[in-house]
Amino acid sequence: MSEQLDSMLIDETKDALKETAQLIEAAANANGEEAKLLYARIADNLRNAKRRLVELEGNAVEKAKVAAKQTDEYVHAHPWQAVGIGAAVGLLIGFLVARR
C-alpha cells in the first residue's frame, strides 16, 4: 500500500513539475495580468510539489527505520550468522577492490 502511495506521489510530482515548466514558458510570452496569474499558478505548483516530496521523504524515513529495526532484531537473534555475512561481504569488497 505504501509503495502505491509513493508511486502516486512521484507521478503527481512529475506531472506538477511538467505543468510548471509549461507555465514558465507561457509566462515568458505573457504580459500584465496574465503573467501574474501564470506566476501564481507556478508558485502553487511548486508548493504542492515540495509538499509531495516532503511526504515521500517521510515515507522513506519510515521504511528505513523499519528496515533498521528488523536488521537489529536479526543481528540480536543470529549474531554469528550476521558476523559471517559481514565477513563475506567484506571479503568480496576487498577482492573486488584488490582487482583494480
List per-residue pLDDT tens for the chain, 100 residues long.
677 877 887 888 888 888 888 888 888 788 888 888 888 888 888 888 888 888 888 988 999 999 999 999 988 999 999 899 999 999 999 999 998 7
With cell 509531495, the residue in question is 52
What pLDDT does 65 receive? 95
- Residue 34: what residue type? E
- What size, in residues, is the chain? 100
Residue 6's domain comprises 2-99
What pLDDT does 1 receive? 60
Q: How many domains does the chain have?
A: 1
Verdict on whether the full-model pTM lies above 0.75: no
| Buried b / exposed e along 1-27 (16+ C-beta atoms within 10 A) | eeeeeeeebeeebeebeeebeebeeeb
